[in-house]
Amino acid sequence: MELASVAAIKAILYPDGFRFSRAMGQNFLISPAVPRRIASSLPEGEGYGVLEIGPGLGALTEALSERAGKVVAVELDQRLLPHLTSYFAGKNVEIVEGDVLKIDLPALVKEKMPGMPCAACANLPYYITTPAVSALLEAKCFDSITLMVQKEVARRICSAPGTPEYSAFTAYVAYHAEAKTLFPVPAGCFYPAPKVDSAVIRLETRREPPVKPRDEALFFRLIRASFENRRKTLSNSVAGVLGGKEKAAKALAAAGIDPQRRGETLSLREFALLSDAAGEEID
Ligand code: SAM
C-alpha cells in the first residue's frame, strides 16, 4: 500500500481510533511524489545513513530507506510505534521511540550508524522547528540536513542580509550551514492540511564556520541584540551588550562599521569584526 495516502491513514490508523495530534504537529504527507522527491535529493548509497525525525506513518521513511544504507527514525507518538516497527521489520530501518529534542543525537548516530556518513531529514513537526534545527546543527554529525518547514520559515532561513526576512536565526544558521530552498510544497499535500504552505530546505553543514570570531558567545549575543529592535540603529542596539553607548561607538569605529546602520544589514563577517573589536574594548 502507498503510505503517502489518505487510504493508508484510514486503513492503518483509523481502526485503532487514531486521532491526529495538533500538539505533536501531525500533518502526514499524502502526495507520494513529495517524499520521493525529497529522498532523491539526498546522497544515494549503501554506505550512507539517514536520521529521520518523526516518521509518522512512514511515507518519507520508506522513500529514504530505498535511497540510503540505513535509516534511523525517531518518533515521539507511541501510538504510531506498533505500525512502524511491524511495517519496517526486516528492512534497513530502525525505529527509535523518543523526543528528538531530548535525545543525544551524536551518541545515537554513533551507536546506530557507526562510521557512516550521515544526513538528517524530516517533515518537521512545526512546533519544534527552531529547537530541532539548532539541535541538528549543534550535533555536528550530519553532512546535510533536509527539512520540510513552513514556507515563511524557509524564506527566513534562506534570506540574505538586508532583506526583511533576515533574522538572528538566519545568521545563526548561516554560521553553521549553507541554506537553500529546494522546492515548495502546497498545503494540500498533507493530511490534515495545515493552514500554510511549506517548502523543503537543504542545509549543507560547514566543516569550518565562514568567520572565526574570537569570542563566539559574544558574537551571538551581539547578533541577537542587533535584531531585537529593528528600528534602533546599531549603536543603540548593541550598547547594552557592550556596556554603554561610548564603548559601542568605539567598537563600531574600530570595526569600520557605520553606527547609523541597522543590525539586520550586517553580514556575518561584519558581526565578527564588531565582536572582535568589542572583545578588545571589554578586555
Ligand atoms: N514523516 C511523516 C510524514 O511526512 O508524513 C510525518 C510528519 S509529521 C509533520 C511530524 C511527525 O513528528 C509526527 O509523526 C509526530 O508524531 C512526530 N513528532 C512530533 N514531535 C516530535 C518530537 N519531539 N520528536 C520526535 N518526533 C516527533
Output the CA 200–ligand 1 centroid distance in Å. Answer: 15
- Answer for the pair 265, 162: CB distance below 8 angstroms, yes or no: yes
Ligand 1 pocket test: pick from 5, 27, 28 the residue with the most ligand atoms within 8 Å of its Cβ. 28
Mean pLDDT of the chain: 95
- Asked if 160 and 82 sit in the same domain, the reply is yes
Q: Which residue shows C-alpha cell 568567520?
A: 211
Q: Reply yes or no on whether the pLDDT at 253 is more than 70.
A: yes
Residue ending a domain, among 178, 205, 232, is 205
CATH code for the domain of 223: 1.10.8.100
Q: What's residue 16's pLDDT?
A: 87
Angle between helix axes 168-176 and 129-139 (nearest 10 degrees) is 30
- Asked if 68 and 193 sit in the same domain, the reply is yes
Within 10 Å of residue 209's Cβ, how many Cβ atoms?
15
> Quick one: which of 215, 244, 238, 213 has its CA closest to 225?
238
Which residue has its alpha carbon closest to ligand 1 atom 14?
Answer: 56
pLDDT confidence tier of residue 229, bands split at 50, 70 and 90: confident
- Asked if 224 and 193 sit in the same domain, the reply is no
57 within domain boundaries = yes
Cell numbers describing residue 226: 542587533
210 within domain boundaries = no
Output the CA 104–ligand 1 centroid distance in Å. Answer: 18
CA gap 220, 130 in Å, rounded: 16
For the stretch 49-107, pLDDT in tens is: 999 999 999 999 999 999 999 999 999 999 999 999 999 999 999 999 999 999 999 99
Residue ending a domain, among 174, 205, 236, is 205
Q: What's residue 90's pLDDT?
A: 97
186 prior amide bond cis, ω within 30: no
Q: Reply yes or no on whether the pLDDT at 281 is more than 60.
A: no
Q: What's residue 140's pLDDT?
A: 96
- Asked if 199 and 101 sit in the same domain, the reply is yes
Query: What are the φ and ψ backbone dihedral angles of 89, each rounded to 5 degrees?
Result: -60, 135
- Asked if 189 and 222 sit in the same domain, the reply is no
- Asked if 199 and 253 sit in the same domain, the reply is no
Q: Is 78 exposed, middle or buried (0-12, 13-18, 19+ CB in 10 A)?
A: exposed
CA gap 257, 251 in Å, rounded: 9
Q: Which domain holds residue 253?
A: 216-282
- Asked if 222 and 187 sit in the same domain, the reply is no
Q: What's residue 116's pLDDT?
A: 96
- Asked if 159 and 19 sit in the same domain, the reply is yes
In this structure, the residues whose C-beta lies within 6 A of any atom of ligand 1 are: 24-29, 53-57, 59-60, 74-77, 99-101, 123, 125, 128
Q: Reply yes or no on whether the pLDDT at 282 is more than 80.
A: no
211 within domain boundaries = no
- Asked if 109 and 241 sit in the same domain, the reply is no
Q: How many domains does the chain have?
A: 2
pLDDT confidence tier of residue 231, bands split at 50, 70 and 90: confident
- Asked if 70 and 194 sit in the same domain, the reply is yes
Q: What's residue 280's pLDDT?
A: 73
